[in-house]
Amino acid sequence: MFGLVPLFFDWQFSFASFVLFNLVCTLANCFQPLISTWIFQKKATLDRASGRVQSASFFVIAAAAGPFVSATMGITISYWIGTITWKDYGVCWLSWWLASTLAHLIFTPPILLLKELGWRQIFAGLHRAMRWTFESSAIVVFTAAIVWIDFFYGYPLAYVLFAILIWSVFRLGELISALGVAIISLAAIIATSQGTGSFSDRTPNESIILLQSFIGILSITGLILSATVQERQAIRSDLVQMLETLEIRIEERTADLRLSEAQLDAFFSAAPWGMGIIDHHYRYVRVNQVLAKINGLPESGHLGRLIWDVVPGLRSSLEPLFQAVFTTGDSILNQEINAQISAQSRIDNTWLVSYFPIFDMDHQPYRVGFLVMDITDRKRLELQLAHQARIDGLTQIANRRHFDEVLQSEWNRCLRSTQPLSLMLCDADYFKKYNDTYGHLMGDQCLVAIAQVLREHARRSSDLAARYGGEEFAILLPNTTLAEAVQLAHQIRGQIHQLAIPHRGSQVSSHVTLSIGIMSHIPQSGDEVSDLIAGADRSLYEAKQQGRDRIVALPYEAIRQPSSLAGDMPRDRPSSW
C-alpha cells in the first residue's frame, strides 16, 4: 500500500509525513483510472477506443483528465511536506502528468484492441501483414533505422517517424501501429534515460519533458489517424452493405414489378368488364379487349388518342368525372350512363362506370383507370321487377302499394296547385255469393273484367285505376271536380251493366253490379289525405246502405260532422255487402 521512496529514509521527515504522502499518492493513483474511465464511458465506448474519431478524441481527453487530478494531488502533497519547492512545482507536475498520460495513450489502445479483436482477428491481421512482405519489412527496417539513428546516435530524425506511422496505419492496421508506437516509446525512453538520443542534450527534466511531449504527440497522432481510417473503412463497409442491400431490394422490386405487371396483364385480359387507363391529357394509355369491342375499335386504335375522339358524345358526361378524380384523388364508383357508344349499336345501352385514381411515387394522381359494365339487361330486369311490384298480379292494374304512393304524391301536388282531387271507391255487390255460386276461378275472371272497365275509363296519364283490396277497386282522378267524377262513375256503372256478367246470388240484379262512393276535395293546409279516403269510404258505405248498385257522393264537410250512420259503420265491412 505504501510507496517506498528512498528520499524518505532521510530522518528529517517525520513518519506522519511519510504515511500522509503515501496515502495521498495511493488515492491519487486510484482516482486516476476511475476518473478517466468515467469520462470515457460517458462520451464513448470503452471497447475499441480508436475505432472512431469521436471516441478517440474522448479517449485522449479521458487519458489526460485522470492524470491531471493525480498529478495535482501528488505534487501538492510533495510541496506541502517540503519534498519540492514552489519553483520546481510546475516542472514536477508536468513530468508527473505527462508520464501518467503517456501510460494511458501508449499501452491502453493495444491492450483494448487485443481484448476486443480476439486471436482470430489478430492472426488475420498478421496474415495480412505477412502477405505484404516487402512493404511490412520496409516499414520495420525504416522504423528500426530511424529509432537507432535518432535515439542511440543522436541524429535528430524523429520527425520521420510520423511519416512511417502514417504509412503503417494505412497499410498494416491499427493494432500493428499501436504496438509500433509502444515499441518506439520504450526504445526512446531507454535511450534517453541512458543519455543518448536527440532529446538528451538538455537538463534531465527538460529532456524527459521533451521526450514525453514527442511520445504523446506521436501516440495521439496514431490514435486519431487510426480512428479516421477505421471510420472511413466502416463508412465504406456500410456503403458496400447498403449498395448490396439496395441491389437486393432493386432485384426484389423488379421481380415484384414484373409479377405485378404480369398480374395486371392477366387481369386486363381476363376481366369480363371493359377496362381502360387515361393520362392527364385524357389520352388512352391502355385498354383491354372488352373495352375495345364496346367502342368498336382495336386496342391499338385507342392508344394515344383522346377519349373524346373515340366516344365524342360522352364528353359532357365523362370530363367532369375524370377531372374530379384527378383533382381530389378519390374514386367515383357506380355511375350510370345511358348512351349509344359504338356506331354498330343503334339503341342506347345502360353502362355502369367506376373511376379510380392511379398515383405516382409522390402519391399524386397522374392517371385515371375506369371500368365499364353493360347493365342494360339488368336495368331492364329492374324495371320489370319495379313494374311488377306496382301491378296487381291478377287484374294487371295498380296494386294497393302503388296506389298509396301515387295518392300521397297527387295530394301534395294538388295542395300546391289548389286543384281538386277526386277519389272513387268501387265494390262488387254480393261478390262472396258470386264466388260461392260460380267458384273462385270465375270470380277471378269477374274481377279481371271489372278491372278492364276501370282501366279503360282512367284515360288520362294522371288517372290511376287500382285494386284496393279483394273485390274493391279505386280510381284516383287528379284535377277532377265532383261533378266530373260522378259523370265518370255513371259511365263505369253503365259499362258494367253492359257486360251482363250473370250473378244468380245477387239480390239487386241478375248480373254483376257495382256500388260506388265518391269524395272530391281541394286540399288545404292542415287537411290529411286520410280524410279523402275516409270520405270516399263513407260514400261507398252509404251506397251499400241505400240498396247497392248505385253512386253516392258526399261533400267533404260531411266527414267532419257527426252522422247517425257513423255509429252503424262496422270496423271491418264484409265483402258481401
Please say whether the structural domain 391-568 has been given the CATH code 3.40.50.300.
no
- Residues assigned a catalytic role: 471
Single out the residue of 117, 247, 256, 239 nearest to residue 178, CA to CA: 117
Give pLDDT, residue 564. Answer: 40
DSSP-derived secondary structure for 231-284? HHHHHHHHHHHHHHHHHHHHHHHHHHHHHHHHHHHHHHHH-SSEEEEEETTSBE
* 3 state DSSP class of 392: coil
Q: Are 496 and 513 in contact (CB under 8 A)?
A: yes
pLDDT of residue 43: 59
pLDDT in tens, 271-307: 888 889 999 999 999 888 888 888 888 888 888 899 8
Sequence ranges of the domains in the chain: 6-231, 273-376, 391-568
Q: HSE-up of 282 (CA within 13 Å, CB side)?
A: 17
What single-letter amino acid sits at 514?
L
Q: What size, in residues, is the chain?
A: 577
pLDDT of residue 131: 54
Q: Find out if CATH 3.30.450.20 is the number for domain 273-376.
A: yes
* 273-376 and 391-568 in the same fold: no
pTM recorded for the entire structure: 0.47
| pLDDT tens across the length of the chain (577 residues) | 333 344 444 445 677 777 777 788 888 778 777 877 777 676 554 444 444 677 777 777 777 777 888 888 888 888 888 777 888 788 888 878 877 777 777 777 777 766 666 555 555 555 555 555 666 777 777 777 877 877 777 777 777 777 777 777 777 766 677 777 777 777 777 877 777 777 777 777 777 777 777 777 777 777 777 777 777 877 888 888 888 888 998 999 889 888 888 887 888 788 888 889 999 999 999 888 888 888 888 888 888 899 888 888 888 888 899 999 999 999 999 988 887 665 555 567 888 899 999 998 888 999 999 998 888 788 888 788 777 788 998 999 999 999 999 999 999 999 999 999 999 999 999 999 999 999 999 999 999 999 999 999 998 989 999 999 889 999 999 999 999 999 999 999 999 999 999 999 899 999 999 999 999 999 998 889 999 999 999 999 999 999 999 999 988 877 765 544 333 343 333 333 3
User: Which alpha helices (DSSP H) does 349-461 contain, by range?
Assistant: 376-390, 400-417, 431-438, 440-457
